[in-house]
Amino acid sequence: MIVDLKTRLTLLGAGLLVLQLTACADVASRVRKYTYPPTFHYITDEQLRSTMWRLAYHSRELRDLMRSPEYVAAHRPEVLRHLEGMENATLDLNRSGWPTNHPLVDANRSTFLRDIKTAREAISREPPNFLLAGSVSGACVYCHGGRTER
């Protein structure tokens, strides 16, 4: 089968375009190395979104557990697991401690982590105190203003 010159040039052009696009696929992350100071932590939109979904999951599960005082006391390990999941998700946003490209996250992250740790300590005591865990489960309202997204 003989392919004419026009078809060959079209295929060559398309091939070169695909090569250029794949070579430049992660240019933004490479450019950030030189455009942001080393003391800056860049959070991608994908990373922020996935972390917020993890926080929403743990927050919702914790809120459901907190609805019944008798039920929550019987499920202390599960409450602690959700608080730990929230803490890990929050830490995953920025383990460096440096400023990020999300000022709202920077402004509230340390307070949120402190509240989670305090709630975990209160639940670990004898007798356990679940009051702080209830406030942590609703902490999303502080940043998101009570709107619900699904």
Residue 110 has pLDDT above 70, yes or no: yes
| Count: domains in the chain | 1
Q: Who has greater pLDDT, 148 or 68?
A: 68
Print the domain residue range for 62.
45-144
Tens digit of each residue's pLDDT (9 = 90 or more) over 37-70: 777 788 888 998 999 999 999 999 998 888 876 7
Average the pLDDT over 5-15 and give the result: 81
Show the DSSP H helices in 36-147 as ranges. 45-66, 69-74, 76-93, 103-124, 131-137, 140-144
pLDDT at 8: 79
Residue 42 has phi, psi (to 5 degrees) of -90, 125
Give whole-number Cα distances, 117 to 9, 61, 82, in Å.
63, 18, 12
In a domain, 138, yes or no: yes
Q: Who has greater pLDDT, 38 or 93?
A: 93
* Cβ contact 116:136 at 8 Å: yes
Tens digit of each residue's pLDDT (9 = 90 or more) over 112-122: 999 999 999 99
